[in-house]
């Protein structure tokens, strides 16, 4: 419960940050299915938090914990994805899937190798140009 409250407090406090970085995502989907087999959930750090998320959002029960990356971030995958990387319930997929990827990120995320999308990271020189 402490972890969950900590996440809520940090999320609330983040709204008072004077300047937010935004990372634009460009490109198109190549229908490779990598995003469905290797995904992150922002602010979900433990299995307990993942179970809370699944309780609060029943559509997330289709996801399972696949493992963790080198930094310890949890990796999720969809139980429904076909071996070809396609979604068998594409027209009824959850909102999180329909919105992927977001047009803008507030953290410098990465896309899978071979993905048709790119996260455009601003450099210090880009900020100076404005």
Judge whether 33 lies within some domain.
Answer: yes
pLDDT(42) > 90: no
Q: Would residue 41 count as lying in a domain?
A: yes
CB atoms within 10 A of CB 35: 19
48, part of any domain: yes
Residue 87: CA atoms inside 13 Å, Cβ hemisphere, count?
17
Residues listed for the chain: 130
25 is in which domain, residue-wise? 16-129
3-state secondary structure of 120: strand
Q: How many structural domains is the chain composed of? A: 1
Query: Would residue 8 count as lying in a domain?
Result: no
Average predicted confidence (pLDDT) for the chain: 81
Distance CA 82, CA 80 (A): 6
Give the pLDDT confidence score for residue 63 in this predicted structure.
93
pTM score, two decimals? 0.65
Residue 5 inside a domain? The answer is no
3-state SS assignment for residue 66: strand
Tell me if 9 is assigned to some domain: no
In a domain, 58, yes or no: yes
Tokens representing 97 are 């899937």
The two tokens of residue 114 are: 């071979």
Residue pLDDT, tens place only, 44-97 = 678 888 888 889 888 889 999 998 877 777 888 999 999 888 899 989 888 888
In a domain, 82, yes or no: yes
d(CA 109, CA 120): 9
Q: Residue 95: helix, strand or coil by DSSP?
A: helix
């Amino acid at each position: 419960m402490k972890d969950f409250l900590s996440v809520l407090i940090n999320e609330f406090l983040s709204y008072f940050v004077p300047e937010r970085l935004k990372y634009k995502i460009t490109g198109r989907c190549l229908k490779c299915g990598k995003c469905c087999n290797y995904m992150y959930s922002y602010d979900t750090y433990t299995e307990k938090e993942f179970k809370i998320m699944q309780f609060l959002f029943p559509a997330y029960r289709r996801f399972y914990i696949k493992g963790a990356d080198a930094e310890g971030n949890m990796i999720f995958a969809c139980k429904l994805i076909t071996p070809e990387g396609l979604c068998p319930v594409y027209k009824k997929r959850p909102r999180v899937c329909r919105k992927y990827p977001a047009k803008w990120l507030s953290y410098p995320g990465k896309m899978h190798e071979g993905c048709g999308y790119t996260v455009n990271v601003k450099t210090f020189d880009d900020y100076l140009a404005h």
